[in-house]
Amino acid sequence: MHHDDFKFEPVRGLPEALPEDEHILWQGQPNALRLAKDAWKMNWILGYFIALAIYRVGLSSTTVSLTEAMGHGIPFLIAGALAGLIIWLIAYVQARSTVYTLTNKRACMRIGAALTMTLNLPYVCIGNAQSMIRKSGLGTITFEMIGDDRLSYLMTWPHARPWHFTKTQPAFRSIPDAARVAAIFADAAETRVNTPQVSRSPAAGDAIAAE
């Protein structure tokens, strides 16, 4: 039986229904394999175990035959494969529990596998955005926030720009078709920021009555 872990959401990826004047422009999730490589450095870890295996084979070949020495490197390769599998599984769970959303007013991030939370990033609070796009089309879009509100790097990781601890920059990590998503964000943010914001001031009668 299919079980939806987020069935309580009124709108997928959002904690509440959208207002009438707000609508979804795009939704997506990280690519699990790319997230494992970018956030968890899976390639570096696999390379480390391969280097250990080569070193062990080279060391053993000085005392035993090359065939036997190659056998000494197999445990390191197996350990590396297991480590890579564990990392991919972690990234898969993180990617499956994540939903990135762009509306005409904000960017939203539902993140967290064990402790789920939703970040709302209004376009008027985003000072700048940067995109890193690979040849495969997968890429990351980071948001530089303005204002005094601070986000926790540990709470948002891996959905944050690496090594920016002082002022965390939330990010759409390892998303497919990143160039198109960046264009959607740019158009929506520009439209939103350039839209006049009308606030209601109390009428003279209201002010007198309140005194």
Q: Are residues 113 and 188 part of one domain?
A: yes
Domain that holds residue 132: 102-192
Read off the pLDDT of residues 121-146 as tens digits, 9 standing for 90 and up. Answer: 999 999 999 999 999 999 999 999 98
Same domain, yes or no, for 77 and 115?
no
Say what the pLDDT of residue 204 is: 44
Examine the domain organization and report whether 59 and 79 are in the same domain. Answer: yes
Residues in the chain, pLDDT under 50: 1-4, 6, 199, 201, 203-211
Domain boundary among 94, 113, 130: 94
Q: Are residues 172 and 137 in the same domain?
A: yes
11 part of a folded domain: no
CATH (domain of 108): 2.30.29
Are residues 139 and 64 both part of a single domain?
no
Residue 193 has a pLDDT of 76
Instruction: Give every CB contact of residue 95 below 8 A, 6+ residues apart in sequence.
Output: 29, 30, 31, 32, 35, 174
What's the pLDDT score for residue 8? 63
pTM: 0.84
Q: How many domains does the chain have?
A: 2
Tokens matching residue 38? 């970018």
Residue 163 lies in a domain: yes
- Sheet of 117-122: strand order equals 24-28, 99-103, 106-111, 117-122
| Shared domain check, 139 and 65 | no
State the maximum Cα–Cα separation within the chain, in Å, rounded to a whole number. Answer: 98
Is 87 found in the same domain as 44?
A: yes
- Please check whether residue 71 lies inside any domain of the structure: yes
Q: Does one domain contain both 69 and 143? A: no
Residue 137 domain flag: yes
- Give a yes or no: residue 207 inside a domain: no
Residues 166, 144: Cα–Cα separation, whole Å? 12
pLDDT at position 12: 87
Examine the domain organization and report whether 86 and 141 are in the same domain. no
Statement to judge: residues 106 and 71 lie in one domain? no
Spatial neighbors of 75 by CB under 8 A, at least 6 apart, are: none
d(CA 102, CA 122): 10
Could you tell me if residue 7 is inside a domain?
A: no
| pLDDT tens string 45-58 | 999 999 999 999 99
Q: Are residues 113 and 85 in the same domain?
A: no
The DSSP result for 130-152, as a single string, is EEEE-TTS-EEEEEEE-SS----
Tell me, yes or no, whether 153 lies in a domain: yes
Q: Is 209 part of any domain?
A: no
